[in-house]
Amino acid sequence: MSTPAFPIVIVGHVDHGKSTLIGRLLHDTGTLSEARVSEVKKVSARRGVAVEWSFALDALQLERDQAITVDSTQARFRTSLRDYVIVDAPGHEEFLRNMITGAAQAEAAVMVIDIIHGITPQTRRHALVLNLLGIRQMIVVVNKIDSADFDEKAFTRLEAEITALGREANIDITTTIPLSARHGDNLADHSARTPWWRGPTLIEAIDRFQPPPAAADRPFRLAVQDVYRSGADRVVVGRIDGGRLTVGDTVTLWPSGRTARIKSFHASNSATPVIAAAAPQSVAFALDQDLFVERGHVVASATAPPRRGRSLRVRLVWLGRTPLTVGYRLRMVVGTAQADVVASRIHHGIESGAVAGNTVAEATFTAANDVVFDSFVDGSTLGRGILVDGGEVAGGCAIMSSDAAMSGATTTVGADERRLRNGHAGAVFWLTGLSGAGKTTLARAAERVLFDRGAQVMVVDGDLMRGGLTADLGFDNDSRTENIRRVAEVAKLMTSNGVIVLAALISPLASQRELARHIIGPAFHEVLVDADVETCAARDVKGHYAKAKAGELKDFTGISATWERPAQPDLIVGAGQESVDNSTQRLVDYIASIAALHAAAA
């Protein structure tokens, strides 16, 4: 069996000479046919330029017209050591997505940097993306050395900056080579015009790339794709990502941490029993115990387990249409598992603040449940994740570390877990005001808006409570106080379980509202629905105000019972001629700011 071609990716900023380098590389290794070389020379002559080797690679007229590479292109060449396949990745900022697609296939990289323009922001992005994709070996070509008159000092200055870039991106830069792609200096042979350069040619440096260790030599990992029953056996199906598996091996199931042995392999197309398998084979096997396993779980080596955590620091490339900010809710896919996450921090040092599209950054995501992962430096696919926003892929990430304090399973559902799952904290918004002020109308309107945003929200009003829980109470001050106490206890219980509560009650006395605040605590927020007696009386379709003025109703707030207007409410709505829509919008905005409300992930 022949050895597969060694895949390398060539990256660099637009116009730094990638396509020219590849075309010249194909020519100098004898890959291009005489007919192809002749065609390149004819096209160059028609365009009135010297031999332009980039034409050897450009397959699309669009590339020639716009002078940029718009998609990943593959080409092959051979040295005296081995075969190579080149992935030419786009350099323009807008084509970063295609660059990732191409680079993901590579084991090593060649980065092209123009000696005049030096390191650009796009150069840094490319280096960080290569790191994210797990590429650890890179050659840097300082191209167009002829445009700097083959100046050793100019090369040395840029070489120092390149070394610093390698440390920043955590990539091993095996060598930095002064080169002219157009003229072939130091590509296949050492150039007489750089007598000061005693390092390798590009071909020699490429042959020094080390092949990666075999996936079968890594610790055993399998992301469960499916589970089905076969007689008495529960059969687990998946692709071995790393390591080897043999009948009788002890494995651990994650996230449960339960241990079992491999009982047997289920091979539908094999005439002889299968007793062993290795990465990257797909397998189906049964365990010696009937343990709960489902898609998204991980089967791993019992002696070299993966990690798990809920607070994950990642290096990511963001491709979303909307900038990534703190509080942004997404779905992270690692292996076959999915977890709802929220961006809890955007780290400084690479990109900070809002992360725009086609940008590389570091961030911490907090998940609603444990994520099983490996550090991406180990080479496991469990070290990388896909970020999904509203059903669309919005980026990729490499998992660097986890906050161990948030790791581990627990039987108690905590407030932080509810907040992450719901996309908001629990809180009570106590709407107070005269009868007919519009408290319940406003609460119901806000409930609809919040519910449509994905919030866990509920309205509690006086009529609802007096129909059941407080049906035994009257309307004197003592009864009203007991009514409010009961409602406050219910609201406290609900909000402690992550619900946004809209409590619409007259609660006429300041002491009663203070009682509610004392019971509920910091989650209590007082909202005055402000309408005077005349306005409320005009809205009164039941005629209660008229009856109270006639003395037919006792203890009616604002007429025959005291109404104490809040001195310093947290929010006032409904005053003057404010419309219900405007009051609703202001109330919803206030609730969102307090509860840190974010739209739920799709």
**Residues 451, 529: Cα–Cα separation, whole Å:** 21
Provide block-wise average pLDDT over 10 residues at a time, the chain (602 residues).
Answer: 76 84 88 77 72 60 37 70 76 48 69 94 82 82 96 96 88 93 94 96 95 85 92 91 93 92 82 85 92 92 90 86 88 91 75 71 86 81 88 85 53 67 87 87 93 90 78 80 90 92 91 92 93 83 77 76 88 85 93 73 35
Note the pLDDT tens digit of each residue in 534-556: 888 888 767 778 788 877 777 78
What residue spans of 243-305 are helical by DSSP H?
Answer: none
Q: Is 415 inside a domain boundary?
A: no
Kindly give the interhelix angle for 439-452 and 580-595, rounded to the nearest 10 degrees.
60
**Residues 381, 442: Cα–Cα separation, whole Å:** 50
**Residues 58, 60: Cα–Cα separation, whole Å:** 6
Given 281, 301, 321, which residue is the final one in a domain?
Answer: 301
The domain that holds 270 is classified in CATH as: 2.40.30.10
Catalytic residue among 375, 507, 511, 560: 507
Residue 346 and residue 372 share a domain: yes
Residue for token digits 């992962």?
A: 373
Q: Is 414 inside a domain boundary?
A: no
How would you classify the pairing of strands 137-143 and 250-254? unpaired
| Residue span of the structural domain in which 454 resides | 421-595
**What is the model's pTM?**
0.57
Residue 538 and residue 481 share a domain: yes
Residue for token digits 């750089």?
A: 194
Burial of 158 (0-12, 13-18, 19+ CB in 10 A): buried
Q: Is 416 inside a domain boundary?
A: no
Largest CA distance in the chain: 112
**Residues 111, 117: Cα–Cα separation, whole Å:** 14
Looking at the structure of the chain, the number of domains it has is: 4
What amino acid is encoded at 484 in this protein?
Answer: I
Q: Is 478 inside a domain boundary?
A: yes
Q: Is 601 inside a domain boundary?
A: no
Structure tokens at 81: 């050591």
**Size of the chain, expressed as the number of residues it contains:** 602
In a 13 Å sphere around the CA of 299, the CA atoms on its Cβ side amount to 31
Given 173, 207, 241, which residue is the final one in a domain?
Answer: 207
Q: Is 433 inside a domain boundary?
A: yes
Residue 453 and residue 497 share a domain: yes
In a 13 Å sphere around the CA of 236, the CA atoms on its Cβ side amount to 28
Residue 187 and residue 50 share a domain: yes
Q: Is 539 inside a domain boundary?
A: yes
Residue 189 and residue 65 share a domain: yes
Residue 34 and residue 125 share a domain: yes
Residue 550 and residue 493 share a domain: yes
Contact 580, 442 (CB under 8 A): yes
Residue in 233, 231, 153 with CA at minimum distance from that of residue 196? 153
**Residues 478, 405: Cα–Cα separation, whole Å:** 48
Residue 166 host element (H or E):
helix 152-169
The domain that holds 579 is classified in CATH as: 3.40.50.300
Residue 97 and residue 229 share a domain: no
Residue 585 and residue 562 share a domain: yes
Residue 496 falls in the annotated catalytic set: no
Residue 167 and residue 25 share a domain: yes
Residue 136 and residue 279 share a domain: no
What amino acid is encoded at 375 in this protein?
Answer: S
What amino acid is encoded at 7 in this protein?
Answer: P
The predicted structure's pLDDT at residue 436: 81
The predicted structure's pLDDT at residue 89: 55
Residue 324 and residue 226 share a domain: no
The predicted structure's pLDDT at residue 403: 66
- ω before 195 within 30° of 0 (cis)? no
Q: Is 16 inside a domain boundary?
A: yes
The predicted structure's pLDDT at residue 542: 72
**Residues 314, 311: Cα–Cα separation, whole Å:** 10
Between the alpha carbon of residue 474 and those of residues 64, 481, 482, 545, the distances in Å are: 85, 10, 10, 18
Residues 6+ apart with CB under 8 A from 381: 221, 223, 241, 335
Residues 6+ apart with CB under 8 A from 328: 322, 342, 343, 598
What 8-state DSSP symbol labels residue 49?
Answer: S
- ω before 4 within 30° of 0 (cis)? no
Given 160, 184, 207, which residue is the final one in a domain?
Answer: 207
